[in-house]
A = this chain, B = another copy of it.
């Protein structure tokens, strides 16, 4: 189904193997039957595994020709006849794992391209691929199974853990990366934060003396920028996923497993708890504390601390229901005036 120029499929996998991968129970079908690819419900054939996560697509599920489907047990009775079922309460989760098995991350063979400029003091595991035009500074450490794509620049002292994928044309400086970190193309980590002593005679640059610490399993989207701390560090917690074109200011501390959508800006010295979700283009002022599990609507502007578990929206942001009522009130004002 995918374009083989860009994506090479692994497999095939037996149904029982797929059930294990997905963490699912096998409810129907031959455990030894082989499957060759993943596909959406409406395009899948008898050799493909599909999934149903959103009940909006229940109809496509009922009509699907997929040989197997990862699905919630509550939907099993709506399956078309003959479809093998992989039952789990987290079907999309299961699909993600199965799709990873069919399309494993491509790790090129270990090598260092002759045009890479690698400082002799750098300590680089043997199982690392460093492509052309890459710069590796003094005393850099790079762990095993890393892929450093073309034209990326890694500054002096940077540490990259194991199993990291650093895309092309990335810049890393003053940074410590954990394991399994994915940094997409054009990301900038560790440059000076925006720190000036302002005065009517002009603005004095304040040296930025901290680092950026990226914990395990973080993913960072294309052209995103993360400034280093002024003295304390800027910290991105384990498992956090950051989209494209996001700005993270100096001394920001982000907890574990946060989701930060594109064009979000987080101002200096703000702290986020765990499992915080920030919608696209949201902005957070500096020196704030955002609690665990907070959800922020797209384009919101956060100007005060937010307590754990709250959903907020608007600019300046309010609790979600108040914001929605205010929006409705404005809509009414707009309509009334027109009469």
Contact = CB atoms under 8 A, between A and B. Distances in A.
Interface of A: 1-3, 5-7, 38-40, 90, 92-97, 99-100, 102-103, 113, 115, 117, 131-133, 135, 139, 149-151, 153, 156-157, 167-169, 171, 173-174, 182, 184-186, 188, 191-192, 194, 196-200, 202-207, 209-211, 217, 219, 221-223, 225, 227, 231-232, 239, 241, 243-245, 247, 249, 257, 259, 261-263, 265, 267, 275, 280-281, 283, 285, 298-299, 301, 315-316, 318, 321-331, 333-335, 337-338
Nearest to A233: B3
Nearest to A100: B207
Contacts of A247: 243-245, 262-263, 280
B206 A99 contact: yes
B174 A184 contact: no
B283 A281 contact: yes
Contacts of A99: 206-207, 209
A222 B212 CA distance: 15
B156 A135 contact: no
B171 A185 contact: yes
A328 B337 contact: yes
A192 B221 CA distance: 8
A130 to B, nearest CB: 13
4 pairs of A and B residues whose beta carbons are closest in the complex: A5-B157, A326-B334, A329-B333, A96-B204
Q: Give how many copies assemble into the complex.
A: 3
A128 to B, nearest CB: 18
A149 B217 CA distance: 29
Contact of A188 (B222, B265, B301): B222
Contacts of A102: 207
Given A117-B150, A186-B223, 5 more contacts: A135-B150, A150-B153, A185-B191, A299-B301, A325-B337
Contacts of A244: 188, 191, 194, 225, 227, 247
B298 A95 contact: no
Contacts of A191: 167, 184-185, 221-222, 244
A62 B191 CA distance: 33
Contacts of A185: 153, 171, 173, 188, 191
A168 B221 CA distance: 19
Contacts of A315: 299, 315
A263 B259 CA distance: 19
